């Protein structure tokens, strides 16, 4: 599944005038960090950890700040435009570094969608580009996208006004299409390449409704300083593992022994789609007892996320307690504050992730899960079996109304 993103970050940002005189637009501070950092954070939590940044204007600032990406939990490489190449030309310059299929994003816009869903709806199409679309109250600034079914037939570039669909600047791209197009340097992705692909029937438009902001104008940049940090503080569904995600056979650690609870995969996908963080909170005393190792546990986590990625879903993080107070072996036999009903794992997640605590919930199948949630100050819901998605509909219905 796709793990690479190409981010267009080389524009001059002339409409912001003095703000971009000494700072490249993606590096403008929003909240307390560069705008581009929010984009990379959002990609990383979806498991998209190989990043290529196309840079040009004041590129040394971007390269110095992000370096190789290790500080942000990703790998970052760069394509440097010695002369302005335009968004289409930048794509051509990066050709030899791109995977066969990759995500592409604008470095000055943020659209909060389930990236893996966009990939899922694109990769089965022969030689296609998936384009994330969004409705807006006024298309005048962006140009209107026209659809027939799910195919983009044309773009009314900066023409017209009123309610309609716009191109959000988030794509899943098939590299084979580059070889079939006559791309020049410089050239424009929006004015040259995409209209050509639309005429040939290669653009699939998929509509999403998540948070969207473009910092290209003064008023939208000022708005971003408030709205982007607020967006990042996300409601979260905390999930116990055994008995919630998988049938609890006792100390499950091998993929061959892991059977998903009915509706568990669909539940994770649905919360991904509506913009929640999905965090697993689990006691794993089998490690203390010597039944399996932490490495075995990590391997199972990776397998779970690979299974989820096949359906456009993911788990953002897993927090686990390997301890037991009286059983097992050193160094795991110990009293700790992370073994539920203690709230240590939840509190750790609250410290490490931007979580909207008041709108978060923990789903567990035992009373100790409820106690941990209460002690951490979040709502707990007791699942007694059956289909997890059906159980969660009471929450989802309230969110979606």
Q: From the candidates 174, 242, 316, 369, give the one annotated as an active-site residue.
A: 242
- Distance CA(314)–CA(305), nearest Å, equals 6
CB atoms within 10 A of CB 62: 27
Q: Which H or E run contains 352?
A: helix 344-352
240 given a catalytic annotation? yes
Q: What is the DSSP letter of 261?
A: P
242 given a catalytic annotation? yes
- Distance CA(32)–CA(180), nearest Å, equals 43
Preceding omega of 319 cis (within 30 degrees of 0): no
> Which residue do the tokens 């995500």 mark?
103
Among candidate residues 158, 154, 157, the one with its CA nearest the CA of residue 199: 154
Q: How far is CA 284 from CA 178, 299, 308, in A?
A: 48, 14, 21
CB-based contact 11:25 (threshold 8 Å): yes
Tokens read off for 220: 């939208």
CB atoms within 10 A of CB 141: 13
Q: From the candidates 108, 192, 240, 365, give the one annotated as an active-site residue.
A: 240
> Which burial class, exposed, middle or buried, applies to 359 when counting CB atoms under 10 A from its CB (0-12, 13-18, 19+)?
middle
The answer for residues whose C-beta is within 8 angstroms of residue 383's C-beta and 6 or more apart is 243, 244, 363, 364, 365, 391
Catalytic residues: 240, 242
């Amino acid at each position: 599944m796709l793990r690479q993103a190409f981010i267009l970050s080389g524009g001059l940002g002339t409409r912001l005038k003095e703000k971009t005189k000494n700072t490249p637009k993606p590096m403008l501070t929003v909240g307390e960090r560069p705008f581009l950092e929010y984009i990379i954070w959002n990609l990383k939590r979806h498991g998209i950890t190989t990043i290529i940044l196309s840079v040009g204007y004041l590129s040394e600032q971007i390269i110095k700040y992000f370096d190789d990406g290790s500080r942000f939990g990703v790998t970052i490489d760069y394509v440097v435009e010695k002369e302005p190449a335009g968004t289409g030309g930048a794509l051509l310059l990066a050709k030899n570094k791109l995977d066969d299929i990759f995500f592409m994003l604008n470095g000055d816009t943020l659209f909060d969608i389930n990236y893996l869903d966009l990939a899922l709806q694109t990769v089965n199409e022969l030689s296609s580009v998936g384009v994330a679309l969004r409705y807006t109250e006024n298309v005048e600034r962006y140009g209107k996208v026209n659809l027939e079914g799910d195919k983009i037939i044309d773009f009314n570039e900066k023409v017209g006004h009123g309610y309609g669909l716009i191109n959000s600047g988030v794509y899943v791209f098939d590299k084979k299409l580059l070889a079939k197009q006559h791309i020049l340097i410089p050239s424009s992705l929006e004015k040259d390449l995409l209209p050509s692909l639309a005429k040939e029937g290669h653009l699939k438009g998929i509509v999403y409704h998540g948070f969207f902001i473009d910092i290209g104008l003064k008023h939208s940049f000022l708005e971003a300083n408030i709205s982007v940090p607020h967006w990042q503080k996300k409601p979260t569904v905390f999930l116990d593992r055994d008995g919630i995600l998988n049938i609890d056979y006792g100390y499950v650690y091998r993929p061959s022994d892991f059977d998903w609870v009915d509706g568990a995969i669909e539940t994770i996908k649905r919360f991904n789609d509506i913009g929640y963080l999905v965090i697993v909170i689990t006691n794993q005393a089998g490690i203390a007892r010597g039944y399996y190792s932490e490495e075995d546990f990590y391997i199972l986590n990776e397998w779970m996320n690979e299974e989820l990625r096949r359906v456009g879903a993911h788990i953002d993080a897993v927090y686990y307690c390997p301890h037991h107070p009286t059983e097992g072996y050193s160094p795991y036999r110990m009293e700790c504050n992370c073994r539920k009903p203690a709230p240590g794992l939840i509190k750790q997640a609250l410290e490490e992730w931007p979580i909207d605590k008041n709108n978060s919930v923990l789903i567990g199948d035992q009373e100790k899960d409820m106690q941990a949630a209460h002690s951490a100050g979040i709502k707990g819901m007791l699942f007694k079996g059956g289909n997890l998605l059906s159980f969660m509909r009471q929450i989802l219905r309230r969110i979606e109304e």
